[in-house]
């Protein structure tokens, strides 16, 4: 088996170009045209795109049928008038009637893909009930194709998506198998959604945004949720706004800890792409689990 590609195998300007493509600032044709200058020694722009794109099988850490877990696809009512929001629920198989600390898992800008379902299973193995809704439900759900998913995201009503995630917190909190402590973890677009949730849901017990956009600094005064902010080092698109928001969180007296991981790219926790940084992802995830254990444990 050939060695797994990492970010160091690609020109940094190509990674910046790929980030623009992933986030809808550049279409496929535009990426391929501009990536052609990085194609060398018989490597085509199309093969560069394929190498940078997700490989879900390579990144799977917990099998969907793991006997230590109980998983199901389940829905909850949308307050936005879109019917039922689809999602993926994972719990420890031996939980029985035990009330579990619960984590809302919020995906990147592609919907509920296999990687995010795997994240939910990882959390369940650590003793949490994890629920990952699909924000693309009103548009038919995750289409099974990353390009089609990004195209769908461009049409997603962001305000209604926020209302659906707010409703997800309430739905989880009302379940008899939760201990009432709800945390949220999100990645990229999902990290930004975690930040937004903390300005709308004051009783959210913990928030862990990974490399997500921040709200306007004026919104920081609304935050009552303890935060663990995980950022990449090479991520100008996200990092440019952080200092102002960090200052606003401090001024508002918000409890937060922020880490920036040296040498990492945006998406460093996503182990389905070469931007994955194994050492940083392991450390960030260890901190995430410890943070949730601290803030989501049932009182008394």
What pLDDT does 53 receive?
Answer: 87
Half-sphere exposure of 196 (CA within 13 A, CB side): 20
What pLDDT does 285 receive?
Answer: 98
Q: Evaluate if residue 35 carries a pLDDT over 90.
A: no
Residues near 84 by beta carbon (within 8 Å), at least 6 away in sequence: 75, 76, 77, 78, 137
Q: What is the pLDDT averaged over residues 18-25? A: 88
194 close to 223: Cβ distance less than 8 angstroms: no
* Band (245; pLDDT cuts 50, 70, 90): very high
* Band (299; pLDDT cuts 50, 70, 90): low
Comparing 259 with 80, which gets the higher pLDDT? 259
All structural domains of the chain with their residue ranges? 7-53, 57-296
SS3 25: coil
Please work out, in degrees rounded to the nearest 5, the angle formed at the alpha carbon of residue 154 by the alpha carbons of 152 and 156: 70
Mean predicted lDDT score pLDDT of the chain: 93
Q: Which residues pair with 256 in a beta bridge?
A: 227
What pLDDT does 82 receive?
Answer: 63
Q: Evaluate if residue 3 carries a pLDDT over 50.
A: yes
Query: What digits encode the pLDDT tens for the residues 111-145?
Result: 999 999 999 999 999 999 999 999 999 999 999 98
User: Could you name the CATH architecture of 57-296?
Assistant: 3-Layer(aba) Sandwich (3.40)
Helix (H) or strand (E) holding 279: helix 278-296
In angstroms, rounded to a whole number, what is the distance separating the alpha carbons of residues 277 and 269?
7
Q: Which residues pair with 295 in a beta bridge?
A: none
Residues near 200 by beta carbon (within 8 Å), at least 6 away in sequence: 162, 166, 222
What pLDDT does 25 receive?
Answer: 85
Measured from the Cβ of residue 274, the count of other Cβ atoms closer than 10 Å reads 22
Residue 135 burial class via C-beta count within 10 angstroms: exposed 0-12, middle 13-18, buried 19 and up: buried
Q: Evaluate if residue 225 carries a pLDDT over 90.
A: yes
SS3 198: helix
* Band (159; pLDDT cuts 50, 70, 90): very high
Query: What digits encode the pLDDT tens for the residues 188-218?
Result: 999 999 999 999 999 999 999 999 999 999 9
Q: Which two tokens stand for residue 292?
A: 């949730």
* Band (4; pLDDT cuts 50, 70, 90): confident
Q: Evaluate if residue 300 carries a pLDDT over 50.
A: no
Comparing 249 with 42, which gets the higher pLDDT? 249
* Band (90; pLDDT cuts 50, 70, 90): very high
Comparing 73 with 147, which gets the higher pLDDT? 73
Q: Percent of the chain having pLDDT more than 90?
A: 78
Crossing angle of helices 12-22 and 45-52, in 10° steps, is 70
What pLDDT does 236 receive?
Answer: 94
Q: What is the pLDDT averaged over residues 154-173? A: 96
Counting other chains too, the contacts that 18-25 makes at CB distance below 8 Å and 24 or more residues apart are: 18/49, 18/52, 19/237, 19/265, 19/266, 19/267, 21/49, 22/109, 22/150, 22/267, 23/109, 23/188, 23/237, 24/109, 24/150, 24/153, 24/154
Strands (E) located in the chain: 69-77, 84-92, 100-106, 129-133, 178-187, 206-210, 227-234, 256-265
What pLDDT does 27 receive?
Answer: 87
């Amino acid at each position: 088996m050939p060695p797994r590609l990492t970010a160091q195998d690609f020109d940094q300007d190509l990674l910046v170009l790929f980030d623009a493509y992933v986030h809808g600032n550049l279409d496929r044709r535009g990426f391929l045209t501009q990536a052609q200058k990085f194609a060398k020694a018989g490597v085509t722009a199309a093969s560069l795109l394929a190498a940078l794109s997700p490989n879900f099988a390579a990144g799977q850490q917990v099998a969907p049928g793991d006997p230590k877990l109980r998983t199901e696809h389940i829905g909850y009512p949308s307050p936005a008038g879109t019917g039922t929001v689809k999602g993926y629920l994972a719990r420890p198989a031996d939980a029985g009637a035990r009330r579990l600390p619960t984590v809302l898992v919020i995906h990147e800008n592609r919907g509920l893909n296999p990687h995010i379902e795997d994240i939910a299973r990882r959390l369940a193995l650590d003793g949490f009930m994890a629920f990952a809704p699909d924000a693309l439900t009103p548009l038919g759900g995750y289409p099974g194709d990353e390009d089609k998913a990004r195209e769908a995201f461009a049409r997603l009503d962001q305000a209604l998506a926020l209302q659906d995630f707010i409703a997800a917190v309430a739905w989880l909190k009302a379940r008899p198998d939760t201990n009432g402590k709800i945390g949220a973890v999100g990645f990229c677009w999902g990290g930004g959604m975690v930040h937004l949730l903390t300005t709308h849901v004051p009783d959210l017990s913990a928030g862990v945004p990974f490399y997500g956009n921040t709200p306007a600094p004026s919104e920081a005064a609304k935050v009552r949720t303890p935060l663990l902010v995980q950022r990449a080092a090479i991520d100008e698109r996200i990092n440019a706004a952080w200092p102002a928001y960090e200052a606003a969180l401090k001024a508002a007296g918000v409890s937060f800890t922020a880490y920036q991981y040296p040498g990492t790219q945006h998406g460093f926790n996503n182990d389905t792409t070469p931007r994955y940084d194994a050492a940083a992802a392991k450390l960030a995830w260890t901190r995430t689990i410890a943070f949730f254990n601290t803030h989501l444990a049932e009182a008394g």
